Amino acid sequence: MLVQPAYLAGSGDFENLTELMRQGHGWKDTPASHRERPQLTRSDGNICLTLDAGRLPWKWTLSRHHTDGRSWTAVLDEMMPVEFVTAAVTSLARPARRHPRTAAFDSLDTAGWQRGDQPTGTRTATSPDGLVHVTQETANSTGPLWRADCTVGTFTWWRASFGEHTPATVIDAFAAALADPEPLLRWVIGTPLYNCDQYTRITPTALGPDDERALLDAQITRAQKARAHPSAVHRPDGPSGPVGLPALPPPPGAASRQR
C-alpha cells in the first residue's frame, strides 16, 4: 500500500539503505559491523553510519569525527521512515556548497508548514496537521542546532537531531524528505501506525516486493554511475526531492497484489 503523509509511514526496510550505501555508494563495513548493528564508513573513512539495533529504541547515527574541530553527529530514530535517513546520508555524495546556508525552511515553507520564529532567534516549523515540529536553535545553544519530532497525541514516534557543523546538504535533504508529498510503499501489517488512523491516507496498490527491488536496483545503478562520473550534474534521489527511493508509478485502478 501507499502511505501519506510519509512521516507516518513507519520505518520501512533498513536493509534497503545499507545495501544502497554498500553497492551504490561504495561504503564499507567496519570490523565491528554485523547484521543487527550495521556500521558503514565512507570510502575516505571520514564519515560513519551506524544502526544500533541492540537496544530500544533503535537509532541511526551519522557522524564525522575529525581533528579539525568540525566534527558533527546526526541521530535519527529507527521508527522514522528509512527513506528520510537515506535522503540525509546520500546527500553527502553531493559537492560541498561554497556558501553553506541551509535552505531547509524553504522546502517546508513551500509545502505549507506553519512558521513560528521566536525573538531569541530560534526558528520553528510545524506540519499542516500539527504532528511534526522542526526547530533550529541559535548558534550559542548547548544542544543540537536542529531538532525534529513526530508526535501523535502523547506518543512521540520518532525524533531527529543534527549537531553543530552538520553539513547544510544533510539538513536540507532531510527537510525536503519531510516536505515531500509523495507516498511511501509499505506492507499492510503495521499500517497505519497505532492511533494514527485519522491522520493517515492509504491507497491500495499492485506494487509488491519485486517492484520495491526494482526501485532499489535503479537507485543503486544511479549511484554507481554518479561515482563513475563525479563531474556529472547530481540528480537528487526521490520523486521531487531527495527521498530514499525513485519515484513510484501511479497506483493502478485495481489492486491485484496488495501491500
d(CA 63, CA 48): 5
Can you give the pLDDT at residue 255?
A: 40
Question: In 3-state terms, what secondary structure has residue 47?
Answer: strand
Q: Which pLDDT tens digit goes with each residue over 234-256?
A: 554 544 333 334 444 443 343 43
Can you give the pLDDT at residue 24?
A: 95
Pairing state of beta strands 123-126 and 114-115? antiparallel
Can you give the pLDDT at residue 249?
A: 44
**Mean pLDDT across the chain:** 85
Can you give the pLDDT at residue 63?
A: 94
Low-confidence ranges of the chain (pLDDT < 50): 233, 236, 238-258
The counts of H helices and E strands in the chain are 5, 13
At residue 179, φ and ψ (nearest 5 deg) are -80, -15
Q: Which of 110, 247, 81 is nearest to 172 (CA)?
A: 110
Can you give the pLDDT at residue 86?
A: 95
What is the value of pTM for the model shown? 0.85
Q: Which pLDDT tens digit goes with each residue over 53-106?
A: 666 678 999 999 877 778 999 999 989 999 999 999 999 988 766 666 788 999
Can you give the pLDDT at residue 141?
A: 64
d(CA 215, CA 212): 5
